[in-house]
């Protein structure tokens, strides 16, 4: 691919990948030839090449675990025929069925050293199409990757459009040759876990806000705060039911720092511009949603208080510290750690490659237990939650009346 040539860039602090898939039902009307696989593949590959000229590091290769050689090698794209209707995948009760739309060489299955992105276009028997990609977290956070797909969609519709992402690089992250800066987060060993998607409608979220606001003292609680608190509480209840006793636990939430820095960065800023915070539950009596919402808000406000000095005091060291804490889900036997990634307000359901809005946006359920991802629902206002728990915990969680009071599992909505 013909990309810009930049010798090297310094990597961020992550050693993970973020896989998104966008599912589209067949487009009705118009020129049917435009939906032919050969035409679709050519258009998507051309627009991907153009997108990579803006997001140039993804077309390079990892060098010595701490930098990228922007050598324009490009991204491997697979075209796959899936011999079933797309509805069969979308109606499956668990999200692992959606993994057929992801590249088979996902990093946690085949850790190909150096590759920073892979992509796949899947063609279903019904005419539906899924576009997916797995991009390295070393280059950018979920906001960066969400913007990548959104801009790829824009370029697929009109390749002449100019986009304006920019990598913040050393303007935010001082370069360092210290090997301790590079995180070594590793996925869990393969085990039997399940991912399931739940829809929290806007009306139910408003009910949760009303329910928790008085006791928490947080009058303007967010969708992320109330939904994550409820999921965390009921996940702990499921685990206590299965194991017979409560185990001290903690909820780690990622926080995107673009708007928190002084001055704020635009949403086009690319890189790992994140931090995070905890809500801890040492005793079972601490597990109540108003307390959790209040604790989440207080921890988040500490990030706001620190934002003015973030750059002056080597912001990268604060990010590394928070990410090192996030390693504990894989390394700590004393506490059970739960991890929440909120993608609310990202333009996921606005990603249009020429077939309108996606019928579903999915994240591959990688080898991570006690994780959940939140994103805007397709119709807006609500929240879609992908909850990943081990098989025993999921069997209790997915039938919990206190979850089902506010959320409906797909495909039963």
400 is catalytic: no
Helix spans in 184-288 (H): 202-216, 223-243
Phi first, then psi: give them for residue 80, nearest 5 degrees. Answer: -130, 140
Catalytic residue among 137, 141, 373, 376: 137
In whole angstroms, give the CA distance from residue 264 to residue 281: 33
> For the chain, what's the residue count?
413
Catalytic residue among 69, 72, 286, 352: 352
Q: Which two tokens stand for residue 93?
A: 């009760």
Q: Which two tokens stand for residue 252?
A: 């780690």
137 is catalytic: yes
In whole angstroms, give the CA distance from residue 137 to residue 213: 35
DSSP string, 105-142: --TTTS--TTB-EEEEEEEETTS-EEEEEEEETTT--H
Q: What is the CA radius of gyration of the chain?
A: 21
In 3D space, the residue among 409, 404, 400 whose CA is nearest the CA of residue 240 turns out to be 400
Q: Which pairs count as long-range contacts for 309-312, CB under 8 Å and 24+ apart, including other chains?
A: 310/257, 310/260, 310/261, 310/262, 311/172, 311/261, 311/262
Report angle CA 34, 35, 41 to the nearest 5 degrees. 90
Q: Which residues contact 82 (CB under 8 A, 6 or more apart)?
A: 89, 100, 101, 122, 123, 124, 125, 130
Report angle CA 338, 375, 251 to the nearest 5 degrees. 15
Sort 261 into a burial class: Cβ within 10 Å, 0-12 / 13-18 / 19+: middle
Contact 95, 195 (CB under 8 A): yes
In whole angstroms, give the CA distance from residue 114 to residue 70: 11
In 3D space, the residue among 371, 408, 351 whose CA is nearest the CA of residue 21 turns out to be 351
In whole angstroms, give the CA distance from residue 378 to residue 374: 12
Q: Which two tokens stand for residue 166?
A: 């920019």
Q: What sign has the CA pseudo-torsion 32, 37, 41, 42?
A: negative
- Residues that are catalytic: 137, 352
């Amino acid at each position: 691919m013909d990309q810009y040539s930049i010798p090297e860039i310094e990597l961020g602090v992550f050693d993970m990948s973020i896989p998104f898939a966008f599912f589209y039902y067949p487009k009705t009307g118009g020129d049917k030839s435009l939906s032919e696989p050969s035409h679709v593949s050519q258009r998507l590959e051309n627009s991907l090449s153009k997108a990579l000229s803006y997001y140039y590091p993804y077309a390079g290769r990892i060098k010595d675990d701490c930098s990228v050689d922007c050598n324009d090698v490009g991204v491997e794209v697979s075209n796959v025929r899936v011999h079933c209707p797309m509805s069969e995948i979308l109606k499956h009760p668990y999200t692992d069925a959606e993994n057929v739309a992801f590249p088979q060489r996902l990093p946690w299955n085949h850790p190909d050293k150096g590759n920073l992105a892979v992509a796949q276009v899947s063609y279903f028997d019904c005419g539906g199409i899924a576009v997916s990609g797995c991009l390295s977290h070393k280059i950018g956070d979920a906001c960066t990757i969400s913007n990548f797909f959104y801009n790829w969609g824009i370029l697929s519709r009109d390749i002449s459009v100019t986009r304006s992402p920019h990598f913040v690089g050393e303007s935010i992250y001082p370069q360092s040759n210290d090997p301790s800066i590079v995180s070594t987060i590793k996925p869990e060993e393969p085990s039997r876990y399940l991912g399931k998607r739940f829809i929290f409608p806007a009306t139910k979220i408003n009910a949760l806000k009303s329910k928790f606001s008085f006791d928490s003292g947080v009058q303007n609680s967010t969708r992320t705060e109330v939904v994550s608190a409820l999921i965390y509480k009921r996940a702990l209840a499921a685990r206590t039911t299965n194991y017979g006793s409560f185990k001290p636990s903690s909820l780690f939430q990622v926080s995107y720092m673009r708007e928190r820095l002084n001055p704020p960065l635009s949403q086009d800023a690319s890189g790992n511009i994140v931090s995070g915070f905890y809500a801890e539950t040492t005793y079972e009596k601490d597990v109540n949603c108003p307390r959790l919402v209040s604790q989440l808000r207080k921890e988040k406000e500490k990030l706001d208080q620190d934002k003015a000095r973030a750059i002056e005091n080597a912001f990268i060291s604060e990010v590394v510290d928070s990410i090192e804490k996030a390693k504990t889900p894989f390394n700590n036997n004393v506490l059970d750690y739960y991890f929440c990634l909120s993608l609310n307000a990202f333009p996921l359901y606005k990603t249009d490659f020429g077939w309108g809005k996606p019928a579903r946006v999915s994240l591959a359920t990688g080898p991570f237990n006690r994780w959940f991802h939140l994103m805007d629902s397709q119709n807006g206002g609500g929240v879609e939650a992908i909850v990943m728990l081990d098989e025993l915990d999921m069997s209790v969680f997915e039938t919990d009346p206190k979850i089902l009071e506010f959320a409906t599992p797909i495909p039963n909505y």
